[in-house]
């Protein structure tokens, strides 16, 4: 292993010149931008405000009707410069830390010698990455919560631990692990928006050093640093670290499960590594069902390893580990099959001919790029996704060849096989289930470790060909800075709009609300409304579920929306409320920032049937739109007293 590390280290040290030059160049660019902001910053802010620069950068937000203020531009510029300063500092630190040539300089030799210590160097870089990750993720904590996070609150705050488990069985398609954790966090931290997000935020940061150690298990420190860097700048990682859902915990556990599995392949650490593997795997499958896909993939890898290396990988310990995980999960298996039978009725089923497109989307989700919509960005994404698929397939297939590599190379070969299998399995299984996007998030730290190993491999090939300027270190620094330039504005303005327009609606609810009926159309925005009105005396219902719409219930959800009498039932309810003395109806609509369409088995378009029927029998008094990132809502108020009068007239007739 030592010889392998020295060869890798030599590869990177030879690229010192380009890396230092590039880092200095980026530092100069950052310094110039700071000077420009100090000299003409107010003029730049004023020009951007007059030109309404934001909509030209991200058209999607401008469609919601929000107009940026002068303060918005000033804050965005300050954050952008701060992020550039952090990235420039990290680039310089990395360049110097791989810099044995500086040790001979009598002025900085002491610093260079300290940086030459692998432990000191790596810890320093990891600390810098954690600082950058925190800076990227903190602004998003101010976005408020939306329906999925509100559902987390209602499930976690439903009573004792047994009540939480019962609620999760009823209202989730996830195991109860994260919700139990949130339940106890609520007891300590309260039920505020940020309190709900603290644990996902911490888990998102913890994934960075764990991804480092996962890639380090391949024997390569440079690969480990690249893996940690990729997790740090992952756009979806930045987003999910400030969302009160199980995603970051599942990603952290997936990374730990794979790490302990790799460590168990070393006979010196097998027993304790397998114990840790069993514990982390059991936690994972009690947090998110995608963990089962990882375990199936690792089971396949285990069979191959036992068959290929019978003397090195004994079957019995892994069989015992698998049986232990099964025994621990046994109490939840009946609920798992109930949830599996329910499925996700809002997910369109894909044809087999559409399978390549779904696989592409799952692979693309693993890449550390935001969803740029330009033609060039789409072409680059397609090329990168195709290269990733080929690399994954090669990593798995090449392991079946008989090779006689030295110990360091064999360790790396095993790591790429395990990581490739751990990624390919979920990619294919999710594609068969027609699931894409966020379902792949749990595997991003594993993918980052895989990418780090292959980037270092590519660097060795470049070194053998003498291509000094296209080796991993200078290329990684350029890529990091380019990524920052492309994404820094979106990251700096991530809290421009709240996730939901519901908080703005609730803030306008006054004392007269006890005579107002709030109808959520559709009902899936009711959890958000219920969360923000939890301390108010407000009566609300949902379409197509009138009873407890804030408690989501996926079972029979499509059937509820398909009922012929769903619209009539809602109108009858309004008539009864009018007869009881309610004088106003507040119809809160949409919640998806785009026109609702039928999706999968869900007939979401029926929201328009309800709106048409309400408009037929009532006249609107006012209408207000509340823009947001995810849940844009429109509130239309009606005079409900007229409905009571109509009902009295009809009864007299």
pLDDT tens-digit profile of 277-334?
999 999 999 999 999 999 999 999 999 999 888 778 899 999 999 999 999 999 999 9
Q: Which two tokens stand for residue 178?
A: 């994260």
Residue 122 lies in a domain: no
**216 strand-pairing partners:** none
Residue 215 lies in a domain: yes
586 and 619 within one domain: yes
Let me know: does 481 contact 91? Beta carbons within 8 Å. yes
pLDDT at residue number 105? 52
Residue 428 lies in a domain: yes
pLDDT at residue number 240? 94
pLDDT at residue number 66? 60
Range of the domain at 19: 1-116+469-496
524 and 403 within one domain: no
For residue 493, with 0-12 CB atoms within 10 Å meaning exposed, 13-18 middle and 19 or more buried, which class applies?
A: buried
608 and 555 within one domain: yes
478 and 455 within one domain: no
382 and 346 within one domain: yes
How many Cβ atoms are within 10 Å of 540's Cβ, its own excluded?
Answer: 20
The average pLDDT across 108-119 equals: 60
> d(Cα 118, Cα 201) in Å, to the nearest integer?
28
410 and 283 within one domain: yes
483 and 374 within one domain: no
pLDDT at residue number 434? 87
Residue 282 lies in a domain: yes
Q: Which residues contact 561 (CB under 8 A, 6 or more apart)?
A: 544, 602, 603, 604, 606
Q: Which of 445, 478, 496 is at the close of a domain?
A: 496
Residue 473 scores a pLDDT above 80? no
> d(Cα 143, Cα 161) in Å, to the nearest integer?
29
pLDDT at residue number 646? 61
The least confident of 27-31, 110-114, 228-232, 244-248 is 110-114
Residue 132 lies in a domain: no
User: Residue 593, CB half-sphere, CA atoms under 13 Å: how many?
Assistant: 21
456 and 324 within one domain: yes
Interior angle at CA 395, CA 393 and CA 400, nearest 5: 95
> d(Cα 41, Cα 73) in Å, to the nearest integer?
10
56 and 193 within one domain: no
315 and 262 within one domain: yes
Q: Which of 496, 515, 536 is at the close of a domain?
A: 496
Residue 578 lies in a domain: yes
Q: For the whole model, what pTM was predicted?
A: 0.90
Residue 9 scores a pLDDT above 50? no
Average pLDDT along the chain = 85
Q: Which of 496, 515, 546 is at the close of a domain?
A: 496
pLDDT in tens, 544-554: 999 899 998 88
455 and 433 within one domain: yes
Which own/partner contact pairs does 312-318 have at CB distance under 8 Å and 24+ positions apart?
312/265, 312/267, 313/265, 317/264, 317/270, 317/271, 317/274, 318/264, 318/274
492 and 438 within one domain: no
Let me know: does 199 contact 365? Beta carbons within 8 Å. no
The least confident of 117-126, 243-252, 500-509 is 117-126
Residue 453 lies in a domain: yes
Domain count, the chain: 3
Residue 164 lies in a domain: yes
């Amino acid at each position: 292993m030592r010889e392998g590390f020295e060869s890798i280290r030599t590869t990177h040290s030879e690229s010192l010149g380009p890396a230092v030059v590039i880092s200095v160049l980026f530092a100069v660019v950052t310094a110039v931008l700071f000077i420009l902001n100090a000299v003409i910053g107010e003029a730049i802010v004023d020009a951007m405000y007059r030109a309404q620069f934001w909509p030209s950068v991200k058209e999607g937000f401008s469609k919601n009707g929000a107009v940026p203020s002068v303060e918005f531009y000033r804050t965005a510029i300050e954050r952008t410069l701060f992020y550039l300063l952090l990235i420039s500092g990290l680039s310089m630190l990395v360049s110097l830390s791989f810099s044995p040539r500086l040790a001979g300089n009598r002025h900085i030799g002491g610093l260079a010698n300290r940086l030459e210590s692998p432990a000191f160097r790596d810890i320093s870089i990891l600390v810098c990455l954690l600082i950058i990750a925190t800076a990227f993720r903190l602004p998003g904590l101010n976005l408020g919560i939306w329906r999925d996070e509100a559902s987390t609150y209602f499930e976690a705050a439903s009573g004792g631990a047994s009540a939480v488990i019962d609620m999760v069985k009823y209202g989730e398609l996830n195991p109860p692990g994260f919700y139990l954790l949130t339940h106890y966090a609520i007891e300590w931290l309260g039920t505020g928006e940020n309190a709900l997000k603290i644990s996902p935020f911490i888990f998102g940061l913890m994934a960075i050093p764990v991804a480092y150690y996962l890639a380090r298990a391949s024997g390569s420190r440079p690969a480990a640093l690249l893996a940690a860097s990729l997790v740090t700048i992952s756009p979806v990682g930045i987003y999910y670290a400030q969302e009160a859902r199980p995603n970051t915990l599942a990603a952290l556990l997936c990374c730990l499960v794979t790490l302990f599995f790799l460590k168990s392949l070393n006979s010196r650490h097998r027993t304790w590594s397998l114990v840790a593997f069993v514990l982390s795997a059991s936690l994972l499958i009690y947090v998110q069902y995608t963990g089962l896909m990882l375990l199936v993939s690792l089971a396949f890898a285990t069979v191959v390893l036992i068959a290929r290396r019978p003397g090195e990988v004994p079957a019995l310990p892994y069989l015992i580990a698998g049986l232990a995980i099964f025994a621990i999960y046994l109490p939840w298996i009946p609920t798992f099959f109930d949830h599996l039978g329910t499925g996700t009725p809002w997910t369109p089923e894909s044809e087999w001919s559409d399978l390549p497109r779904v696989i592409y989307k799952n692979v693309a989700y693993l890449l550390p790029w935001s969803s740029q919509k330009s033609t060039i960005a789409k072409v680059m994404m397609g090329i990168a996704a195709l290269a990733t698929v080929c690399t994954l397939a090669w990593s798995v297939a090449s392991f079946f060849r008989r090779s006689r590599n030295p110990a360091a190379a064999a360790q790396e070969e095993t790591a790429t096989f395990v990581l490739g299998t751990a990624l390919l399995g979920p990619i294919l299984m999710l594609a068969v289930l027609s699931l894409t996007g966020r379902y792949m998030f749990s595997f991003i730290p594993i993918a980052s470790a895989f990418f780090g190993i292959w980037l270092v491999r590519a660097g060795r090939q470049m070194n053998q060909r003498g291509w000094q300027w296209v080796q991993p270190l200078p290329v990684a620094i350029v890529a990091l800075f380019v990524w920052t330039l492309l994404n820094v504005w979106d990251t700096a303005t991530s809290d421009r709009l709240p996730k939901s327009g519901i908080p703005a609606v609730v803030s306008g609810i006054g004392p007269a609300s006890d005579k107002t009926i709030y109808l959520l159309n559709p009902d899936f925005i009711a959890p958000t409304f219920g969360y923000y009105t939890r301390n108010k005396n407000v009566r609300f219902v949902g379409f197509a579920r009138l009873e407890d719409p804030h408690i989501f219930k996926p079972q029979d959800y499509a059937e509820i929306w398909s009922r012929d009498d769903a619209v009539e039932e809602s109108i009858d309810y309004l008539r009864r409320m009018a007869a009881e003395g309610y004088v106003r109806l507040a119809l809160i609509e949409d919640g998806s920032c785009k026109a609702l369409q039928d999706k999968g088995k869900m007939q979401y378009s029926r929201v328009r049937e309800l709106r048409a029927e309400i408009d037929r029998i009532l006249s609107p008094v006012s209408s207000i739109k509340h823009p947001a990132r995810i849940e844009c809502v429109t509130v239309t108020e009606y005079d409900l007293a007229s409905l009571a009068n109509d009902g009295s007239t009809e009864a007299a007739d």
